[in-house]
Chains A and B, each alone.
Chain A
Amino acid sequence: MSARARLLAVAALALGVLALGLGAEARAYPHFQLSSGSGRCSQCHIGPAGGGLLTPWGQDEQGDTVARGGDGHFLHGAVQLPSWLLVGGNVRLAALANDVGGSEGAELAAFPMQIDLALSAWRGAWSAVAIVGARGVVRSGAPAMAESPGGEASAPSLGSYVISREHYVMWRPKEEGPYARAGRFAAPYGLRLADHTAYVRRYLGGNLLEETYGVGGGWIGDAWELHATAFVSDPLQGAPRREAGGAALLEARPANAIVVGASARAGAGEADTRLQAGVHGKLWIEGARLLLQAEVDGVRQMFAGGAGAGDRWQLAAYAGPVLVPARGLYAGAGYQVFAEDLQVRGVVRQSVDAWLAVFPIAHVEVMASARAQRIGPAEHAYLGMLQLHYAL
């Protein structure tokens, strides 16, 4: 083996170890809320409950507190946009090793996880927000198609790869005070973790591309905020549940380092009705540079027909610390549990996550994560992932 080949092998091994041993699914950007000194998510984000495009304040924060340095503005400050326009976007590449206990062994994949462009334009109190991009594709499905018993499968259309997670019109006259919006967006609920596979998102209506169409509004204050949404499932982009309903989130900051919140969501469809509620909290311990965050939710699901047969109670919880040992460096861990049916033995999922994220300069993130799951009494799944993320 040549010196170059040995070097490549060592580098690949190091990346593999990093991906398998350190990382996490929890790209939990909500940890910026207190650790960066910002009390409200909407200080840094256009979305009134956080997420999506950064405000000019958020762009400043990206370079000044979140990353190790650099200019957080559009194109690193090289281009000055008009004051009524914000442009952003994301390119996120990922590599993973995934073992779910199948006879084929561990799956290895490298894939584009996220490619999107975000725009926001406003005039006075009114603004329009849109995020358009391509959905990530880990697996083409080709092997299963070839083996499928029917053998009459077709590939997804090119159009199915184009997605718009959010597009809405918003009225928000001031940074603090009332707001209202209409369009497609994620109804605010719970911790609002960035990781869509977190149990408190995946199993509670917040999985990838499950943003709904609806109207929402609320009040954003210095010490508390309220968000309420009436929604219907997106009929165009697909969702595991077709439903209409409402959601509400009340979050308070009784002190600079503490956030407590309560959420509720109700949705009814042809097949079932789901009622869920939960509480969440965050505590920032400045001396230890440590954030503690947790969420617990309960769900009552009632199925159509069958006179109540199978109606169930579910429970989902997430908890984990995030350590910020130095500017631009974040290390986290998480424990999750999801009980699919509290009256049935053997359908509880548990997960332990760990992750490390580095922001060497503004706009750039490197993240390694790992997850070990125990599903019921006997099944296990293991995931290691490495992500390279550039935010426009």
Chain B
Amino acid sequence: MLSRRPYNTGFALVLVSALAAACTGEPGDRPATWEYLHPAIIAPSCATSSCHTARVETAGVALDERRAAYIDLIDRRFVVPGDSASALMSLLEGDERRRMPPDAPLPAADIELIRAWIEAGAPE
């Protein structure tokens, strides 16, 4: 029986990977609003405890509170509503700046959703 288990584990992993890879939705299905972007993408990717929280404020940026993060990004012109060339985009794409997040980039679909949000006027 024991000899079958590695095979079974491998099969399960292949199945899991296939399921994950078979995601069929479209990026456009997701709401391009800060109410969604913050808890879905920004907070889990950027507001990690050693980076952009109110306590640590790496680079002076705190993104853990939804409303405060929105105000900070707008007031400090990381996001200029309507301008898809906003500084936030160059940070996420690593264009002439250190790319963020620094450990692994966001999926292109997430970056495009953020771009669509900015182009739509960065609605809160």
Cα of A239 to Cα of B50 in the assembled complex, Å: 9
Give the size of the chain B interface in residues (CB under 8 angstroms): 65
Cα of A304 to Cα of B47 in the assembled complex, Å: 19
Q: A103-B95, A150-B78, A345-B23 are in contact. Are A296 and B36 (CB under 8 A)?
A: no
Decide if A310 touches B98 in the complex (CB within 8 Å). Answer: no
Chain A residues positioned under 8 Å from B102 (CB to CB): 98, 100, 107, 138-139
Stretch at the interface among A182-190, A213-221, A311-319, A357-365: A311-319
A290-319 contacts to B (CB < 8 Å): 292, 294, 296, 301, 303-306, 309-310, 312, 315, 317, 319
Q: A147-B97, A150-B77, A203-B44 are in contact. Are A136 and B30 (CB under 8 A)?
A: no
CB distance from A201 to the nearest CB of B (A): 12
Cα of A328 to Cα of B48 in the assembled complex, Å: 33
Decide if A379 touches B107 in the complex (CB within 8 Å). Answer: yes
> What 1/0 flags go to B38-81 for Cβ under 8 Å of A?
11100110111110011111111100101000000001111000
Decide if B98 touches A379 in the complex (CB within 8 Å). Answer: no
Cα of A338 to Cα of B50 in the assembled complex, Å: 21
Q: A292-B5, A315-B16, A375-B105 are in contact. Are A344 and B36 (CB under 8 A)?
A: no
A173 within 8 A of B: no
Decide if A143 touches B98 in the complex (CB within 8 Å). Answer: yes
CB distance from B86 to the nearest CB of A (A): 8
> What 1/0 flags go to A131-172 for Cβ under 8 Å of B?
000011111111111011111111110001000000000000
Decide if A376 touches B109 in the complex (CB within 8 Å). Answer: yes
Decide if A378 touches B20 in the complex (CB within 8 Å). Answer: no
Of A135, A319, A348, the residue contacting B21 (CB under 8 A) is A348
Chain B residues positioned under 8 Å from A64 (CB to CB): none
Cα of A360 to Cα of B20 in the assembled complex, Å: 40
CB distance from B27 to the nearest CB of A (A): 6
Q: A153-B59, A238-B53 are in contact. Are A283 and B2 (CB under 8 A)?
A: yes
Of B13, B16, B95, B109, the residue contacting A344 (CB under 8 A) is B109
Residues on A lying within 8 angstroms of B by beta carbon are 98, 100-104, 107, 135-145, 147-156, 160, 197, 203, 207-210, 236-242, 270-272, 281, 283, 285, 292, 294, 296, 301, 303-306, 309-310, 312, 315, 317, 319, 335, 337-350, 373, 375-379, 381, 383
Q: Could you list 25 A-B pairs, sorted by A, with CB under 8 Å?
A: A100-B105, A101-B94, A104-B94, A135-B56, A143-B98, A144-B58, A145-B60, A153-B60, A154-B60, A208-B48, A239-B64, A242-B64, A271-B43, A281-B9, A292-B6, A294-B13, A303-B35, A303-B40, A304-B35, A306-B33, A335-B17, A338-B20, A347-B23, A378-B108, A379-B107
Beyond the given pairs A152-B60, A208-B49, 12 more chain A to chain B contacts, judged by CB atoms under 8 angstroms and listed by A's residue number, are A102-B94, A102-B95, A144-B59, A153-B60, A154-B57, A160-B57, A238-B53, A238-B64, A310-B40, A312-B40, A346-B107, A349-B107
Residues on B lying within 8 angstroms of A by beta carbon are 2, 5-6, 9, 12-13, 16-17, 19-21, 23-27, 29-31, 33, 35-36, 38-40, 43-44, 46-50, 53-61, 64, 66, 75-78, 87, 91, 94-99, 101-110
Give 10 closest A-B pairs by Cβ, nearest first.
A153-B60, A150-B76, A102-B94, A102-B99, A238-B53, A141-B59, A376-B107, A209-B49, A343-B25, A149-B77
